[in-house]
Structure 1
Amino acid sequence: MTTFVLIHGGGSSGWDWHLVAAELRGRGHDVVTPDLPIEDPSAGLNDFTNAVLAALGDRPDPVVVGHSYGGMTAPLVCAKVSARLLVFLAAMVPAPGEKPGDWWANTGYVGPEGLSQAETFFGGVPEPLVAECVAHGRPQVSAEGEEPWPLDALPDVPTRALLCRDDRFFPPEFLRRVTRERLGVEPDEIEGSHMVLLSRPKELADRLESYLGE
């Protein structure tokens, strides 16, 4: 049995992970899906990290997964615990001293044009589930966007990056380049859109579980 810590992206909540969490729990694993304090205008990266640590408690050797903007928090958690594995899922990979708000320009990100929210994020997700996800969304008014990312380097823990081949928010060619530049590795790939955790939860759980044996 392994504990998976699943960290949501920007403007979201731990609810985003409920299908993947059910898959992993059904296989005998423990799962933690904390809500980051994104609605608190004073909350910064340390508050995000502490929210995850509070939810994790004393569970040992977790696998920490950061989805999208959750990639800013996941390595900070790994620096505080004896993590078994760090996974960046369709995620922003931070750089030391870089403000999260500067990540977009620093990586040369160009957003999609002419696409709806559903087309950008939710390819392959059934419409009722899209509506439910949007209803669980929260305004992100926290303060971390202008806060330098605090570590001198990414934590020394086994690390994987997993991109989504049908992602229209972080296109594969973009995320491959960022992963090479910032992690020095080739990312793994999975079919699905940016919200693969809702469109392909079983396949994502399969992939996360497969990392345990590598």
Structure 2
Amino acid sequence: MVHFVLVHGVGHGGWCWYKVKPQLESAGHRVTAIDLAASGVNMAKIHEVHTLSDYTQPLIELMDSLPTGEKVTLVGHSLGGYNLALVMDMFPQKISVAVFLTAHMPDCTHSPSYVMDELIERIPADFWLDTQLSSDLDPEKPKNIVVFGPKCLFSNLYQLSSSQDLALAELLARPGSMFHEDILKVKPFSKEGYGSVNRVFIVCKRDLTMKEDFQRWMIENNPVKDVMEIEDADHMPMMSKPNELCFCLLDIANKYN
């Protein structure tokens, strides 16, 4: 039995894995779909969450609670790649493999913000459509706030997903943050921690948020053990291609556990 820990992206929560969780469980595995701070049903408000570490705290607590000798398969989607990197650096001995699902994947050489800065450069201004972008104006630890608008969700994140899944996102998505200002200050992830864990990248070829060429750029920047592809997946493969995603995850679990 493999213990999968599924980590959502910005504005989302553990709810976004609702198609994937039962499939992995029916294959005999244990699945934890976590809510990060101020996400899903986590009671914190985004204005109370100041740093990437604060945001990752529920995942840090989960990893810390694992008994000695237990290893998990971590899966991070989108911004969730940064949450993976943080706990990989802290708990490398507790992770069999880390799966970056069209996710931010930093390296051990540059500032952790390096891949985020590159993505920000590549995203055109009109991408955001009706998304509300603001700052919380905290004088000590300012951060950007993101509230996805329905048009942006439909056009750029969920364009190949069902209308039901889009409606779910419109109902459940919460204000989030990329924590860019904090990530700018974080020291590079270590080779001994983050760099020592097996990494696999799953490329989503129809992703309009992190386009395929950007995903390939991250892989070239920081090579991984394996690269898998999902052909007709948008930025939300757990919604648009759950069966194909589960096939990839089960294949990875068999190989690295």
TM over 0.5: yes
Contact 2:204/2:229, CA 8 A, preserved across alignment: yes
Residue equivalent to 1:51: 58
User: CA 1:49/1:124 → structure 2, altered by over 3 Å: closer, same or farther?
Assistant: same
The answer to whether residue 33 in structure 2 is matched with residue 33 in structure 1 is yes
Residue equivalent to 2:23: 23
| Cα separation, 1, equivalents of 2:225 and 2:28 | 30
User: CA 1:167/1:61 → structure 2, altered by over 3 Å: closer, same or farther?
Assistant: same
Match of 2:248 among 167, 187, 207: 207
The answer to whether residue 208 in structure 2 is matched with residue 160 in structure 1 is no
3-state SS, counterpart of residue 6 of structure 1: strand
The answer to whether residue 120 in structure 2 is matched with residue 84 in structure 1 is no
User: CA 1:176/1:103 → structure 2, altered by over 3 Å: closer, same or farther?
Assistant: closer
Contact 2:21/2:31, CA 8 A, preserved across alignment: yes
- Pairs within 5 Å for 1:32-181: 32-38=32-38, 39-56=46-63, 57-58=65-66, 60-81=70-91, 82-96=94-108, 98=111, 100=113, 103-106=115-118, 109-111=121-123, 113=126, 116-117=151-152, 118-141=154-177, 145-147=181-183, 148-150=185-187, 151-153=189-191, 154-181=194-221
| Cα separation, 2, equivalents of 1:3 and 1:33 | 11
Q: Could you tell me how far 1:129 is from its partner in structure 2?
A: 1.4
3-state SS, counterpart of residue 206 of structure 2: coil
Letter in 1 for 2:241: R
Letter in 1 for 2:182: E
User: CA 1:179/1:109 → structure 2, altered by over 3 Å: closer, same or farther?
Assistant: farther
Letter in 2 for 1:98: S
Q: CA RMSD in A?
A: 2.5
Percent of matched pairs sharing the same residue: 25
Q: Could you tell me how far 1:143 is from its partner in structure 2?
A: 5.0
Unpaired segments of 5 or more residues in structure 1? none
What do the CA deviations read for 1:127-149 (whole angstroms, capped 9, x no partner)?
12111122211111585642334
**Higher deviation after alignment, 182-191 or 161-170:** 182-191
Contact 2:238/2:245, CA 8 A, preserved across alignment: yes
**Higher deviation after alignment, 17-26 or 45-54:** 45-54
Q: How does the TM-score come out when normalised to structure 2?
A: 0.74
Unpaired segments of 5 or more residues in structure 2? 39-45, 130-150
User: CA 1:125/1:35 → structure 2, altered by over 3 Å: closer, same or farther?
Assistant: same
What do the CA deviations read for 1:102-160 (whole angstroms, capped 9, x no partner)?
64434574225467421211122111211112221111158564233442343311110
Contact 1:62/1:84, CA 8 A, preserved across alignment: yes
User: CA 1:149/1:189 → structure 2, altered by over 3 Å: closer, same or farther?
Assistant: farther
| Cα separation, 2, equivalents of 1:27 and 1:53 | 26
